[in-house]
Amino acid sequence: MWWIAQPVTHQGLLEREAWYLFLAAAALVGVYVYVCIFWCLFAYNRRRRPAAASFTGNPPIEIAYVAIPLALVIWLFAVTLRAEVPMDRVARNPDGIVGVAAFRWSWRFAYAEGRIVTVGTPFAPPTLYLPVNRTTEIDLTTDDVNHSFWVPAFLFKRDAIPGMTNRFDITPTRTGTFLGRCAQFCGLEHALMTFRVRVVSASAFDAFVKTNGQATP
């Protein structure tokens, strides 16, 4: 089932913990308010209650309903910070750096300081190789308009914006092939701006780099 999908990166695991706590809070509040509304529809229907009360408020109750949600969002903010701070951290010494350049409407991946470059097209999406259990820094840029690098299985995206390089770390925790795509609308063929991510063993990735991309994992 999609909402209990196991995260495949270290960063995704952090997101998932926050997600479950938010979902629990959402369900609690949602069910409580729905029950209150349906209770009113049932118990205070005119057929059952021809005469209405006439009170216009109750300050202690109103203040309580400010204080309780306030406490809830403060707790949610703590949950947010606990996940976000390590997700945003960029290691000073990453195990490797991969350059990702977005352009209308595909991607260019550069490994080993640009010695290996893969370029895709909308109809032949490129493949991004990442080593498992290593922290890879992605240096994200764009050649033209705004794009966004999104791998749903990583539970993560970051925008590519002209004039800046966006850096973030990814630490995959299991091998496999995942779908990636542009999330920021970028014109005509935005829908076809996809790529594949293959998370491979560290040794296969090393062989890929050592042979200048000849030994495709």
Partner 1 sequence: MIDWLTATDHKRIGKLYIFATLTFFVIASVLALVIRAQLARPLNTLVGPEAYNQIFTLHGTAMIFFVIAPFGLGLANFLVPLQIGAPDMAFPRLNATSFWLFALGGIVMFCGLAAYGGAAANGWTSYAPLSEIVEGTGGGTDLWILGILLASISTILTAINLTTTIFLFRAPGMTMWRIPIFSWEIVATSVLILMAFPSLAAVLLLLLVDRHLGGHFFDAAAGGNPILYQHLFWFFGHPEVYVMILPYFGIITEIVATFSRKPVYGYVGLVIAAFAIAGLSIGVWAHHMFTTGAVNNPFFSAVSLLIAVPTGVKFVNWIGTMWKGSLELSTPMLFAIGFMLNFLIGGITGVILASPPLDYDLHDSYFVVHHFHYTLGGGSMFALFAALFFWFPKIYGVRLNERLGRWCFGLMYVGFNVTFLPMALMGIEGMPRRVYTYPDVGHLALLNGVASAGSVVLAAGVALFFVNILVSALARAPVPDNPWNGYSLEWVTASPPPEYNFVTLPAISSRRPAWDAMQPQGDVS
Stretch that binds partner 1, among 20-28, 92-100, 113-121, 126-134 (CB under 8 A): 20-28
181 belongs to the binding site for partner 1 (CB under 8 A): yes
Q: Please state at what angle helix 10-43 crosses helix 59-88, rounded to 10 degrees.
A: 160
Q: Which residues contact 122 (CB under 8 A, 6 or more apart)?
A: 105, 106, 189, 192, 193
Residue 100 DSSP SS3: strand
Q: Least separation, in Å, of the C-beta of 78 and partner 1?
A: 10
Taking CB under 8 A as the criterion, the residue among 158, 173, 209, 213 binding partner 1 is 158
26 belongs to the binding site for partner 1 (CB under 8 A): yes
Stretch that binds partner 1, among 67-75, 111-119, 131-139, 208-216 (CB under 8 A): 67-75
Taking CB under 8 A as the criterion, the residue among 24, 40, 119, 215 binding partner 1 is 40
Whole-number Å distance between alpha carbons of 1 and 21: 18
Q: Measure Cα distances from 121 to 30, 108, 180 in Å.
A: 44, 9, 14
91 belongs to the binding site for partner 1 (CB under 8 A): no
